[in-house]
Amino acid sequence: MALFITDDCINCDVCEPECPNDAIYQGEIIYEIDWKLCTECVGHFETSQCVEVCPVDCIPIDPQHIESQDQLLQKYQHLMKKSA
């Protein structure tokens, strides 16, 4: 399951540098998450780093992009091959 950022985002800039997959970027109004790059930090950390640092708790699971832990791990492995 990828994550997404809700309209409660205050653009505090703390989530973007925490993303190991560079999935978070400044959108037109608030930060956004590219679901194709989001692995919920699977392969990197035990927990989603953006969720850990968000001061307003505005990064839930994206119901539009449901993925299993195995799918997230496969996505992580694919992304690591592309960056190598």
Residue 49 lies in a domain: yes
Structure confidence at residue 13 (pLDDT): 95
Record the tokens describing residue 42, joined without a space.
């699977």
CATH number (domain holding residue 29): 3.30.70.20
Residue 7 lies in a domain: no
Structure confidence at residue 83 (pLDDT): 76
pTM of the model: 0.92
Domain count of the fold of the chain: 1
Report the alpha-carbon distance of residue 9 to residue 31 in Å, rounded. 7
Report the alpha-carbon distance of residue 69 to residue 1 in Å, rounded. 8
Look at residue 39 and give its three-state secondary structure: coil
Structure confidence at residue 1 (pLDDT): 75
Report the alpha-carbon distance of residue 63 to residue 21 in Å, rounded. 20
Residue 6 lies in a domain: no
Residue 52 lies in a domain: yes
- Domain range enclosing 72: 16-83
Record the tokens describing residue 51, joined without a space.
């969720």
Structure confidence at residue 34 (pLDDT): 97
Do residues 4 and 60 make contact, with C-beta atoms less than 8 angstroms apart? yes
Chunk the chain into consecutive blocks of 10 residues (it has 84) and report each block's average pLDDT, rounded to whole numbers. Answer: 95 97 97 97 96 98 94 95 81
